[in-house]
Structure 1
Amino acid sequence: MDLIAELQWRGLIHQCTDTEGLQKQLDSGPQTVYIGFDPTATSLHVGSLMQLMMLRRFQQAGHRPIALVGGATGMIGDPTGKSEERNLLSADQLAANVAGIEAQMRQFLRFEGDNAALLLNNFDWMKGYSYLEFLRDVGKNFPVGTMMGKESVRARLGSEAGLSYTEFSYMLLQAYDFVYLCREHDCLIQAGGSDQWGNVTAGIDLGRRMLGKQLFGITAPLLTTSDGRKMGKTEKGAVWLDRSRTSPYAFYQYWINVGDEDVLRCIAYLTEIEKEEYDQLAEATAQDPGRRAAQKRLAEWMTGFCHGEDGLQAALAASKILFGGAIEDMDDAGLNEIFADVPSNDLQRDSLTGEGLWIVEALQQAGLVKSGGEARRAIKDGGVYLNNQRVTEMDLRLSASDLASESVMVLRKGKRNYALLRFAD
């Protein structure tokens, strides 16, 4: 694979310290490349996929990736792009975050066989480094003028929050990671997001001063929408790769709702869909955007890749329910997530005992009709559904056997007018 050409057609090269030199280095034989990941949570999020896929592409091209978890740098926090200093995490929280991230990375990178990936934690080589030793070995090779010239530093120094010495020192720690990995693992390439350019070039400069080595840096664009907003966030917060924090259904829904102006870029950046199919999807989007062919392909690829075939099938089944598909093998949590935005009402569970709850009353309780007469007309016209099954009996009485899950009943009037009834003791 011509890796540089692959990255270029996908739009994944934002900056490169020496494109021609990097091409020659890659052509000379298998190389080692690293990307750092900040352990601010127990899970990576959608924004992290840009970097995970970059490492994966290097590995598929025959090179060795190093996924570096910042157990040490995470104790300080990167000031890049932050308007104020982060809260410092405890050692226990950092350890839990590192463990969660390490487990996820094994889904995306191959850690055995030829050019097996390495999973490293910079805390392992920083924990025994004394402050005086670090200043002597690293600090003396770091011109303050160079640090002051970095955009991340200038922006914070000019802000109301300012910049603490702790955060100011972050650049030294990340730069030393590059030196350490070069010395111990023959790593000559660092990749990252475009916001990391200052830290990447600082590491290259430190490598030249401490080791006399030619190092390379390459950054990818940030994952943003066409109007500049970061992708991977919803009203409920970040879109996580951990299914316990973002379910496969919610993950799928996020991608299928990406706008026409962003979907093709997401396919190029995040998937392994080849150029020929990409061009076909681009043409289909231009000719008939209403079909949302690109969004469907993106959502299916991303969900299957991140959550496996079982996660994809669960997401597809849940999505079909919104369009009248059968409600089968669902639990309360799943139904509540699918119908999070529809009206609901809570009733006593004993209303389902004895004669049961009359369907006409149920429709009124759900707010789908304003009167019994309106409910009867809707049933007569074939426009009422219980758990997506058409109701044909005007005198239907609902019991616990009509629940779609442990305690939820799904009612629908017309094609898309849903409501939930929840029954609790």
Structure 2
Amino acid sequence: MSNADLLDRRLRAVPRGVATAYPVYAAKADNAELWDVEGNRYVDFAGGIAVVNTGHRHPRVVEAVRRQLDAYTHTCFQVIPYEPYIAVAERLNALAPFSGPAKTILFSTGAEATENAVKIARAATGRSGIISFAGGFHGRTLVASAMTGKVVPYKKNFGPMPPEFWHLPFPVAHHGVSVADTLRSLEFLFRADVEPSRVAAFIIEPVQGEGGFYEAPHELLAELRRLCDAHGILLIADEVQTGFARTGRMFGIEHSGIEPDIVTVAKSLAGGFPLSGVIGRAAIMDAPEPGGLGGTYAGNPLACAAALAVLDVIDQENLLARANQIGAATKERLTAIASRNDVVPIMAIRGPGAMIGFDIVREHGAYQPDPEATKRVTQAALAEGLVLLSCGVFGNVIRILVPLTVPDAILEEGLQKLERALVAARL
């Protein structure tokens, strides 16, 4: 079996709407390393898009799932409930980044989490409007796509989008958008399109994922919280990519000290098994009628077993501190690389914890996005044996999502490969 054979089969069997970054096919993975079907080895700086914060096939996660396999794999929680679902909810309620009682409902994907957060917010407030941000990504279902702040590829040819969804510009200094600009746009929105009393919720990523790894300014989050309190609006923190130690805190919004009302989670919650959830203030979560929420596979027992092991690993292996160590080492290396003239120009090295991004530009000292050079970097990285992802509204951001369990030697190897890729991509 070869990568070329599988690519040919994939092109004939799978529609083009699901894109893949690279034409290599996985055969094995362990912690922060991958091997393809031809035996080529890669250091993984993508982590399945922030899904394996605890590494590929962490032994404790594998063992927990194996034990659950021997018991039962599915009953549907709405038919015959089971203890692991309740245990995950209890653990997440205890970790909730807000004061007061919390409740959690489980689903399977991030899009299910964000879409159900909208349903819960609407039920709790009796309102319909949702405000999100340009560059934000909240999933690919139709409601999640409506919240997502990027047309291509997430909305193109899928319209019309559901009504009652609005977007604000997301403040990024070198994109020319300030917090004041965002708040002026919100004032305009309230005057021109929707009154505050019809808005159910704001939804925001504490650090934008697909949008470019830009952190939501704490000043903005504080003002959103003030407006929510003044107008009876709920604040939803989309922690699908930022959650579970990636930013050096359990949840990214904890860096700001601002309390949300609802939190959406997924990705690294279950270490590679499909599990998502909505955590919220108890009174808000109880607003929907019985039967209004759920899903056949929602809160699958195998995924719940994995999630309990993941939460143990984060705690017992001190992954919050490890994320900060990885981030500091990575940003220090990137800062040194940025001063060199033999690499593609890079700038704006950023990110809390180990959620690191930087921009590739056409020349030093000016912000001119270079998406073509960014593509050359990711391709050169793959040739070096490094799995690396890009993102951003201009397609010029490199994002680093290495597993937090990566050994120092493998992290160093990956950074060396990245450095060589930045050199190779310079024309």
Tell me the TM-score normalized by structure 2: 0.25
Q: Which has the higher contact order (CA 8 A, sep 6+)?
A: 2
Tell me the TM-score normalized by structure 1: 0.25
Q: Which protein is richer in helix relative to its size?
A: 1
